[in-house]
């Protein structure tokens, strides 16, 4: 990545590759950011540097790198934007693609907690909050003021079959809307056959849908209708034709059902999203919903700060969230951050509830200090 105002990087600073995998045409580009501090100091929020152009899937692309975020709402983050510069020759159809950005570690491998699929906006794919700068700066992935980002481009192979391209299209096949239909089913309660009582609030659902989405629901709801989670009988009871759950907040259970039927979470912002992600992670682990669990881990990584990192680390340890745990430890490796965190109630809670975490953290800090020497 060049300094502000200079030309795009030469061939020695960037590499691209393409391959056909299954039914997809894939390509990737390695972005080398050299002089991170200089770009951060010289470019304000909203200003970017362009990578050199590269080709993937018969198209020409560029990446825009925003060291201080693309908008004021993400000024504490690095933003990235994959921009389509040129479509394949003789192909005027819109490009249907997915983009994934990954921070690379020193070995050149993607860091799981900082690998994200980009959202499509206009003619490109953006991640406004790719990584918080303080996390990057306190991690071991920034070395000699340099780090790397990998951008993967995934395009359905069928779009590039010549016979298909030459065949005139008389209709458009709409995208699948099965989750919208399932969401409507949850809202209408048509055919609902199981009722939950959660802290005095009633929720109706469909046991076969719950069973298809969660092995815990499948084993218990579709089986003997015993308590939903073995070993916690004091907090759940099946009374007549309904199931009573007393150890989860109604709004959390409602959001859990929303995900079961919609495969997505409702829109939330700021502190509301962080708090809900904590509760949902516990529920996702309890009901063995791994995709939801990873989504919650990702959201909690985005909200790490001095006031939340200690409690988040305890949560990650209790629910075996390795990616989230690593992100918390990277945050705490900064001496300034650690001193501030040690003054919080969350650190006291961590010391009392998970003393082994304190020992593990201290060992990592000592190891890091020795490596620097």
Q: Please state the φ and ψ torsions of residue 142, each to the nearest 5 degrees.
A: -100, 110
Higher per-residue confidence, 334 vs 27 = 27
Name which of 343, 330, 279 is nearest 301 in CA terms: 330
For 124-173, the pLDDT digits (tens) are 888 989 999 999 998 889 999 999 999 988 876 654 444 444 445 566 67
Look up the pTM and report it. 0.54
Q: Flag whether pLDDT at 8 surpasses 60.
A: no
Q: What is the pLDDT of residue 240?
A: 47
Q: What is the pLDDT of residue 369?
A: 56
**Top mean-pLDDT range of 58-62, 83-87, 173-177, 191-195:** 191-195
**196, β-bridge pairs:** 203, 243
| CATH topology assigned to domain 176-265 | Potassium Channel Kv1.1; Chain A (3.30.710)
**Top mean-pLDDT range of 3-12, 193-202, 212-221, 355-364:** 193-202
Q: What is the pLDDT of residue 168?
A: 53
Tell me the domain boundaries of the chain: 11-166, 176-265
Q: Flag whether pLDDT at 56 surpasses 90.
A: no
Which residues lie closer than 8 Å to 80 by C-beta, 6 or more apart? 63, 64, 65, 66, 101, 118, 126, 127, 130, 149, 151
Give the relative orientation of helices 270-286 and 250-262 as an angle to the nearest 10 degrees: 80
Q: What is the pLDDT of residue 237?
A: 47
Q: What is the pLDDT of residue 7?
A: 35
Q: Flag whether pLDDT at 5 surpasses 50.
A: no
Cα angle for residues 116, 35, 330 (degrees, 5° grid): 50
Q: How confident is the model at residue 1 (pLDDT cuts 50, 70, 90)?
A: very low
Which residues lie closer than 8 Å to 122 by C-beta, 6 or more apart? none
Q: What is the pLDDT of residue 268?
A: 86
Average pLDDT, stretch 247-264?
94
133: left (phi over 0), alpha (psi -120 to 50) or beta: alpha
Q: Flag whether pLDDT at 198 surpasses 80.
A: yes
Higher per-residue confidence, 236 vs 303 = 303
Q: What is the pLDDT of residue 335?
A: 62
Q: What is the pLDDT of residue 27?
A: 83
Q: Flag whether pLDDT at 287 surpasses 90.
A: yes
6-20, 185-199, 236-250: which has the minimum mean pLDDT?
Answer: 6-20
For 221-254, the pLDDT digits (tens) are 755 344 443 444 444 444 445 788 888 999 999 9
Alpha-carbon distance of 242 to 257, in angstroms, equals 16
**31, β-bridge pairs:** 14, 149
Question: Residue 188: how many CA atoms within 13 Å on its side-chain side?
Answer: 8
Q: Flag whether pLDDT at 203 surpasses 70.
A: yes
Q: What is the pLDDT of residue 171?
A: 62
Q: How confident is the model at residue 88 (pLDDT cuts 50, 70, 90)?
A: low
Domain range 11-166, its CATH number among 3.40.50.300, 3.90.550.10, 2.60.210.10, 3.50.50.60: 2.60.210.10
Alpha-carbon distance of 35 to 7, in angstroms, equals 15
Q: What is the pLDDT of residue 121?
A: 64
Sign of torsion, CA 11 22 293 354? negative
Average pLDDT value over all residues in the chain: 80
Q: Flag whether pLDDT at 15 surpasses 60.
A: no
Q: What is the pLDDT of residue 361?
A: 82
Alpha-carbon distance of 78 to 130, in angstroms, equals 6
- 59 burial (CB, 10 Å; 0-12 / 13-18 / 19+) is buried
Alpha helices in the chain (DSSP H): 36-42, 133-137, 162-166, 178-188, 207-213, 215-219, 250-262, 270-286, 290-302, 309-318, 322-332, 335-341, 345-353, 355-372
**Top mean-pLDDT range of 4-13, 115-124, 186-195, 220-229:** 186-195
Q: What is the pLDDT of residue 223?
A: 54
Q: What is the pLDDT of residue 149?
A: 95
Name which of 97, 24, 22 is nearest 59 in CA terms: 97
Question: Residue 277: how many CA atoms within 13 Å on its side-chain side?
Answer: 26
């Amino acid at each position: 990545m060049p300094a502000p105002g200079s030309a795009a990087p030469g061939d020695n600073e960037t590499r691209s590759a393409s391959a056909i995998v299954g039914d997809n045409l894939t390509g990737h580009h390695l972005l080398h950011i050299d002089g991170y501090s200089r770009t951060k100091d010289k470019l304000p929020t909203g200003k970017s540097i362009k990578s050199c152009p590269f080709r993937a899937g018969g198209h020409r692309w560029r990446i825009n790198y925003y060291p201080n975020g693309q908008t004021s709402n993400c000024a504490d983050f690095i933003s990235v934007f994959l921009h389509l510069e040129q479509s394949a020759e003789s192909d005027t159809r819109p490009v249907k693609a997915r983009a994934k950005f990954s921070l690379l570690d020193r070995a050149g491998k993607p860091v799981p907690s900082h690998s994200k699929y980009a959202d499509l906006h206009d003619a490109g794919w953006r991640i406004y909050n790719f990584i918080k700068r303080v996390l990057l700066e306190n991690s071991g992935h920034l070395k000699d003021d340099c780090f790397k980002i990998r951008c993967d481009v995934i395009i359905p192979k069928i779009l590039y079959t010549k016979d298909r391209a030459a065949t005139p299209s008389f209709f458009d096949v709409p995208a699948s809307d099965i989750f919208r239909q399932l969401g409507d089913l949850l809202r209408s309660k048509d055919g609902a056959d199981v009722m939950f009582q959660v802290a005095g609030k009633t929720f109706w659902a469909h046991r076969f849908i719950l069973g298809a989405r969660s092995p815990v629901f499948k084993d218990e709801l579709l089986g003997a209708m015993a308590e939903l989670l073995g070993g916690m009988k004091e907090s759940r009871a099946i009374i007549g034709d309904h199931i009573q759950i007393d150890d989860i907040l109604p709004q959390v259970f409602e959001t859990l059902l929303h995900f079961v039927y919609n495969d997505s979470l409702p829109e939330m912002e700021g502190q509301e999203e962080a708090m809900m992600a904590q509760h949902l992670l516990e529920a996702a682990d309890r009901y063995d919903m791994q995709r939801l669990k990873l989504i919650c881990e990702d959201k909690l990584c985005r909200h790490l700060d001095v006031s939340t990192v200690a409690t988040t680390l305890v949560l990650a340890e209790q629910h075996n969230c390795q990616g989230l745990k690593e992100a918390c430890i990277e945050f705490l490796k900064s001496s300034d951050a650690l001193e501030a965190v040690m003054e919080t109630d969350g650190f006291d809670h961590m010391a009392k509830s998970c003393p082994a975490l304190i020992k593990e953290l201290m060992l990592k800090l000592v190891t890091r200090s020795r490596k620097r020497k």
